[in-house]
Structures are given as C-alpha cells and as structure tokens.
Chains A and B, each alone.
Chain A
C-alpha cells in the first residue's frame, strides 16, 4: 500500500513534539447501568524513587466505569490496599459485594530506568487469579499502559474487545477577541486526555475521517478560501491536499482496506459521491441523481455504502450495492434522517434522526429495520461508533456551546466530555490502533 511510504517518515516522530493543550477534556457520567459488574481497583503500589506522574488504577477505574458495564468501587470504601496476593483478604472484598479485584504494582529499579508494571485480576468468589501480566514502559507511556490494562480487564470480564487504547478526533471552533472563528482539528485519547491540536485555521475545517490503520485523518479544510480534501498523518503532522475541484470537496470516508476514499464532489454540477483510488488517483462516480447525494460510509466488508440522499424529497439513508449498482432506501420513519455510520459488524446503522423538530441520534437494525432513538438532547449530530461497537460518541449543544456526548448503543449508559473553551463538534472515533 502506498501509504506505507509515509509510515517510514514517521520515524522522525520521536523528535517531534506536539503542542500540548492545557485544557483537556474531562469526563462526566450522566447515566449509568444498574446491572454493571462490581470490581474493586486498588491503587497500585509504587516501588521506586520520587512520585509517579500517573495514577494507573484511577485511569483504569475511570475507563471501566465509562463503559457502563463495570462498576468500580470507590476508594474510600476499601478496607485495605493490597498490591500482592498475600495481602488480599477475600472475605473483606466479598463483604463489600465485589465480584472482582484488580491489584498491581509499578516498580523502577534505577532512576530514569524502565518501569515494570504488574497487574493481577482476582475472582473474589472463587478466590483465584484470572488474569495477570507484567508489562514495561516509560513514565511517558503510563497512560497508554493503563488503557492497555483496561482493555485486558474489560475483555476478560465482558467478552468484548476493549477500546480504551483508541483515540478520538474532533473539531473545535472558537471566536477570538476579533470575532474571528478559529477552527482546530484535535486528537485525544478516547478518555479525552492528552489532547493535541494537529491543524489550526481561520477558515472552516470539518468532517475528519480516520484511515483504517488509525495513522491518517482525511478532512475538509477551507484554508485556501475554498473547500479541499486533505490527508494528514496524525503522528508526523505531514499532510497534503488531495482534491481541489470546483464546488464541493467534502465528506471523505476511507474504504475498510484503506485503498480508496469516498468523497462528495459537485464538479459535474450536483453533489454526488465519487470514489478516489489512493494508488492510481482514478476517480469513479458512484451516484447519479439530481437530488443531493452525500455523507458516504463504507460497509465493514467494503461491498456496500450507505449515504444520505434527498432523492425522495427530504434527506433519507440509502444503501448502494457497489457490485450491482443497486440502491435501496433504508429509512422511512421521520422526514429527516442523515449522516449514517455502520456498526463495526455491519448489522446496524447509526444516524441523525429528526423527530418533532428535534435532532436525535438513532439506531436502526438492518434486519428488523426497527428505529430506536438513543439520545434526548436537541441538535445532536455526527454519531461515531467505537471500534468494539459498544459506544457512540456524538456532538450536541448546550446553550451556545457544542460539546461531545457518548451513549452506549443500547442507550443505557451516557457520559459527556465537556469542553473548556469554545464549541466542540464532529467527533470521529479511531479504529483499533494496532490492527
């Protein structure tokens, strides 16, 4: 694949330091799940000089709580803080009604040397270890290691792959003193921390879309005064302009194998969907209708594409079979359904649904075709699904400010990532990082 050439350039990434924003997003859980499994996550012991910069157990605890499927015990309720099996009194944890117990230790033999992180998960009822590992890392990698532990524990306890090591991309817009709107394309960890700005502009930036290897973002920028589609390596910052057609250049979406980018162009007069081969740059037109055709998303197997079309009047979701060219309307409930995304297994779609003048995020099962509304706030936009298929992140409004919300695909769990400054919009959840 030709993008691999860029990856070599990523070797310089270690020399390169990003702007670290001071105002990280923080999480606020607004609705939990009663049936969540109780798990006690004990602060990890530290054996080394000085103080550790990150609290691994707290990061793991926050991750697992956000999933809604697990319910970490508050530290203030813990009767002891064991870090190895000999220190564990199972009866205490059992009295606290905990089903699982996570303990661990971080050690550093020499100052500035590598860190060794041991974690162990115990089944409180059976009083036995069910998971354990020793991993290493530097102090800068502590958050990543903590998210890795969250992934392991989550997968063991729920059977679902953890998506705590993933990232989100989003756009912020802020009016400065001169009343100019500054747009920033940002990337953070899935928990909103370690936010980095990778593009700044005083012209609109929108529609970030991750490459399947999570190395690149495609997005739309008006920086030349007109819209263009750009591709940017999120590690090196290296970028290039892919399209500069007259009229629209919008809604980029990567094919699952990374070889093509679906885009919306109006070069032939009307907004239509095209596919650009990223090796040959050959452009193939995929839709042809006098209505609006936009917001393409590839099915996980790459054989179909969903998109928004106004061909029946208002916007509705359609599915195009790329082999046969046949198009089928998927949504019939309500007068406004737009910007759909497939679930990772392709069985459902998530989209913006207008109901009585209010815009919600809705889900629809592609077999039963039943539509269910997942969010209650007005003006909800841009649903993006986590790569394990369990959560959606979306943009919503409160007063004149936009912020990001997350909801589980069953609608049971909700949390929000408030922004410190300005308007946050268009979140895009990355694929798994190491696949």
Chain B
C-alpha cells in the first residue's frame, strides 16, 4: 500500500496564507542539500483509518439498481430511522466512482453516500476527508482539478443532507495515485473515484 499514513492535519490548521510571508523569507523553509529528501511524513503514522486502495468498492459500473432521482421522502425517512438508531456504524464501503471527465455523483453511489451521511450526522465530531482521484487519461493538472471537483461534489451532497462543513475536508491526488495500474477501461473505471476516509 502506498505511503499515505500521514496524519490528517500535521501543522496545517491555519493554511490560508502564503508560507513565504511578506517581504522577507523569515517564514520560508530552506534546505541546502542538493538532493532533498522529502519523505519525512512517515513520522506521523497515527492516521485513524485509511481505506484500502479502492479495491473494496462496489459500484463498478451500472450494476446497481438505485434510482437516479433526487433524494425522495422515503429515503429521508429511512435515514431518519437510521439516525434514530443512534451511532450508525461506520460504513464499510469507502469509495465511489465517476464517469470520464465527470464530477457528478452517479446514481449507483447514492446508497453508499447516504450511509456516510447517516454516520456523520450521528457522529458530529467525526471528521471525514474526501480524496478525489482521476484516471490517467488527460493532463495531470486538469486531473488534479477534476479530482478536487469530485471531492467537492461529494461534499455538497453531504452538506445538502445536513452534514456540517466543518466535518469535511476535500483533497485531490489527480491521477497520481491510481488504485489499479493499467491502461484499460477496467483500471480507469476503478481510478476515477473519491475515497471517503475517516
């Protein structure tokens, strides 16, 4: 498995500023080695959970029968029941998939997402990271942006259903971290995904 056990926040709480402060380089980090080893993130190995590389995902393509309609009253009511059971269990499935160059939520993902909504609403202290990914086709930075948009789409889905924005963080790895290696439709369909990590 890839080295992704960095902890959720490191020192990143307040990041809305360019690190290289104004005018001087007081706040910059400089290193004078030619070959700069940049993998000291291993020290923070207390990640709560990292799902496997998407291999457990269900919804491969169109084998699911969930309707593509907006969340109906039935679903709402069912969710309420879940809520009433308190402490909905953390969902088993942590990955949902997307179509090529698309960031809209597929109908076959809704069931899984609703389980996460229930869990997050029942556990308002729980934090979730939505990690967007793209397949290898197309350009790297466009895919980086596409991965972010996929994460944002899941975030919106969660928020509309009452999950607090403060529980959600969106990141993107673009095409840099494929779940499956390969230049074929089957690999690509597994790589266009959002991993829902607690």
Residues of chain A at the chain B interface (Cβ within 8 Å): 16-19, 179-181, 196-207, 221-228, 232, 236-248, 250-251, 264, 266-267, 269-271, 276, 280-281, 283, 292-295, 308, 310, 314-315, 336, 338-339, 352, 354, 359, 379, 381-382, 397, 400, 425-426
Q: Which of B18-26, B71-79, B80-88, B112-120 contacts A (4 or more CB under 8 A)?
A: B18-26
B residues sitting closer than 8 Å to A (CB atoms) are 1-4, 6-7, 10, 12, 15-23, 25, 28-41, 44, 101, 136-142, 144-146, 148-149, 152, 169-174, 176-177, 181-183
The answer to whether A241 touches B34, judged by C-beta atoms less than 8 angstroms apart, is: no
| Contact residues in A for B22 (Cβ distance below 8 Å) | 280-281
Instruction: Across the A-B interface, give the 4 residue pairs with the lowest CB-CB distance, nearest first.
Output: A225-B6, A223-B38, A237-B34, A201-B38
Are the C-beta atoms of A247 and B25 separated by less than 8 Å? no
Q: Is the CB of A339 within 8 A of B34?
A: no
What are 27 A-B residue pairs whose CB atoms fall within 8 Å in the complex? Answer: A179-B2, A200-B39, A201-B39, A203-B3, A204-B177, A205-B38, A206-B144, A223-B38, A224-B41, A237-B33, A239-B31, A240-B20, A240-B28, A250-B145, A264-B144, A270-B149, A276-B18, A292-B142, A310-B101, A315-B101, A315-B139, A338-B139, A339-B139, A339-B141, A354-B138, A359-B138, A400-B183
Interface residue from A202, A224, A276 paired with B3 (Cβ < 8 Å): A202
A352 and B144 CA atoms in complex are apart in Å by 16
Q: Among A244, A269, A280, A381, which residue has its beta carbon within 8 angstroms of that of B15?
A: A244
A13 CB to nearest B CB, Å: 9
CA distance A10 to B176 in the complex (A): 33
Supply 20 further A-B pairs (C-beta < 8 A) apart from A202-B41, A203-B38, A425-B140.
A16-B34, A18-B34, A198-B36, A199-B36, A206-B144, A206-B176, A236-B34, A237-B31, A240-B30, A241-B29, A242-B20, A246-B15, A247-B172, A248-B144, A283-B18, A314-B101, A315-B101, A339-B139, A339-B141, A381-B140
Given contacts A237-B33, A294-B144, contact A225 B10 (CB under 8 A): yes
Instruction: Determine if A426 and B140 form an interchain contact, defined as CB atoms under 8 angstroms apart.
Output: yes
CB distance from B181 to the nearest CB of A (A): 7
> Chain A residues near B18 (CB, 8 Å)?
242-245, 276, 281, 283
Residues of A contacting B172 with CB < 8 Å? 227, 247-248
Cβ–Cβ contact A204 & B176, under 8 A: yes
Residue of B44, B169, B174 with most chain A CB atoms under a 10 A cut-off: B174
Partner of A294, one of B31, B137, B145, B181: B145
CA distance A28 to B197 in the complex (A): 45
Give the residue of A201, A223, A224, A270 whose beta carbon is less than 8 angstroms from that of B12.
A224
**CA A354 to CA B4, docked complex, whole Å:** 32
Known: A238-B31, A243-B18. A352 touches B138 (CB 8 A): yes
Distance of A19 Cα from B33 Cα, bound (Å): 10
Shortest beta-carbon distance from A414 to chain B in Å: 21
A238 touches B30 (CB 8 A): yes
When chains A and B are docked, how far (Å) is the Cα of A425 from the Cα of B140? 10
Which B residues are CB-close (under 8 A) to A247? 148, 170-172
What chain A residues lie within 8 Å of B170 (beta carbons)?
247
Contact partners of B15 in chain A: CB under 8 A: 244-246
**Chain B contacts for A251, CB-based, 8 A:** 141, 144
B176 surroundings in chain A (CB, below 8 A):
204, 206, 222
The answer to whether residues A359 and B181 also contact, given A223-B39, A224-B12, A246-B16 and a CB cut-off of 8 A, is no
Name the contact of A19 in the complex, choosing from B35, B40, B142 (C-beta under 8 A): B35
Closest partner residue, chain B, to A240 (CB atom): B28
Given A200-B37, A225-B6, A238-B31: A271 and B140 interface contact (C-beta under 8 Å): no
Shortest Cβ distance from A180 into B: residue: B3
Give A13's nearest chain B residue, CB to CB.
Answer: B34
Residues of A contacting B181 with CB < 8 Å?
A: 400
A232 to chain B, nearest CB (A): 8
Residues of A within 8 A of B6 (CB): 224-225
**CB-nearest residue of chain B relative to A357?**
B137
Contacts A245-B16, A247-B171, A281-B18; A239 near B141 (Cβ below 8 A)? no
